[in-house]
Amino acid sequence: MVEIKSVTPGSFADKKGIKPCDKLISVNAHPIRDVLDYRFYITEKNITLTIEREGVELTVKIKKGEYDDIGLEFETFLMDKQESCRNKCIFCFIDQNPHGMREGVYFKDDDTRMAFLFGNYVTLTNVKDEELERLVKMHISPINVSVQATNPELRRMMLGNRFAGRILEQMKILADGGIDLNAQIVLCKGVNDKAELERSLFDLEKLVPSLKSISVVPVGITKHRRGLYPLEAFTKEDCLEIIGQVEKIGDGFYEKYGTRLVFLSDEFYIKAGLPIPDAEHYEDYPQLENGVGMIRSMTDDIDDEIDWLKDSGELPFDVTRRVSVATGKASFDFISRTVEKIKKIWYNIDCKVYAIRNDFYGEEVTVSGLITGGDLINQLKDRDLGDVLLIPRNCLRHEGDKFLDDVTLEEVEEALGVKVLPTREGTDFLYGIIKN
């Protein structure tokens, strides 16, 4: 049973007299406890709602289109409390945050519903088999699973949870039920790499064809790891070895299944000093949000858009503009090359690229998504930024208004005296530079 916060005027529910503060008990006799139940059961054309109002149960019948919304709003998006993580992972990035940040930064999400609705990765350690069966029944697909290791003993150690060893069994329940899966392995030096990584990849292979992709990403290490499990950053030589190992296994998977299945994040190639693979390597970019193929995707997006602009004549090439770009150290060379390519075509554009050193988390952290507002202000306040400063969209929280250090976008603009433009994709980046 969940309380109704509001009713959309003119909606099916409004026309049937449903009111705010009514409690929704069931839909077609199915108890409603969260957003998955609600969304699944209201897809019928004919639905019967059981409502409680001031202790009295009411029955409301609605006839509608199969996927029409009925107009009910609830207190929270999930209609239930969000499941938090019960693990104590040795690599947890949230544990590496400094003290004094906003409360939301320290919340550890591990909710399968968020995995389906927003693509979050979950460990399944707080999920009972009954919940897995509910996901199968409702065909909640895909589910993104944070695996780390398939060796039960090792996974229990890495996640700090004695219930973490059943991951393959749990994923098999979902796979047998027709649920598509994506897997993630956060690689920790000397822990789940080398032979353990190979074991995990070949264990996960058994879930094909339900398993669609595996990403391997390096552990993030900040300067705030005091008192935590000792972890080391991967060296250039380590990254070369990992690339050789994973690409060889991926080649074997491709021969058998027509997909590489396993993909490395861009950070490995950057640190190894190797070029990013071409677009064909990443197939349909199944792990883009994990930083897998992001540079290749951005490069190709920009090249395609430039070709289109040349053919269409939609935008003049004598644009005069002064702009700047802030990026992480890992992507600085790539962004600089991209800007130079753009400037060769739009020759009147003056664009400077600045690599932001991560003083907030430590210099080992070089990715653009962890740039903070404070570091932007401190390192760019005396620089020539032109008329607009481009930053990566992923260094802001979901709402797009705050950085991880609680500094707002407006505060950065005020401190630097320039408009700040967050960009998400290659085309956003291109037009941010060339279009007034």
Query: Do 244 and 390 have their domain in common?
Result: no
Q: Based on the domain organization, do 110 and 169 belong to the same domain?
A: yes
Which residues form the domain of 63? 2-74
34 and 55 inside one domain: yes
Do residues 138 and 275 both lie within one domain?
yes
Same domain, residue pair 22 and 140: no
Q: Is the peptide bond before 286 cis (omega within 30 degrees of 0)?
A: no
Domain contains 80:
no
Buried b / exposed e along 108-117 (16+ C-beta atoms within 10 A): eebbbbbbbe
What angle, 0 to 180 degrees and rounded to 10, lies between the N-to-C axes of helices 426-434 and 332-345? 50
Last residue of a domain, one of 236, 269, 290: 290
Task: Assign residue 36 the CATH number of its domain.
Answer: 2.30.42.10
pTM of the model: 0.84
Give the tokens for residue 70. 């009925």
| Among 266, 290, 314, residue at a domain's last position | 290
Same domain, 338 and 420: yes
Q: What is the mean pLDDT of each run of 10 residues along the chain (436 residues)?
A: 93 95 94 87 93 94 92 83 82 80 64 74 92 90 95 97 96 96 97 98 98 96 87 96 98 98 97 96 94 94 92 80 95 95 92 96 90 96 94 88 91 96 93 87
Identify the pLDDT of residue 130. Answer: 92
Pairing of the two strands 72-74 and 121-122: unpaired
Of the residues 290, 310, 336, the one at which a domain ends: 290
Helices 167-176/194-205 angle, 10° precision: 20
Look at residue 75 in the predicted model and tell me its pLDDT: 84
Inside any domain, residue 86: no
Instruction: Give the count of domains, the chain.
Output: 3
User: In this predicted structure, what is the pLDDT of residue 82?
Assistant: 72
pLDDT of residue 426: 92
* 62 within some domain: yes
Q: Is the dihedral of CA 159, 163, 167, 170 positive or negative?
A: negative
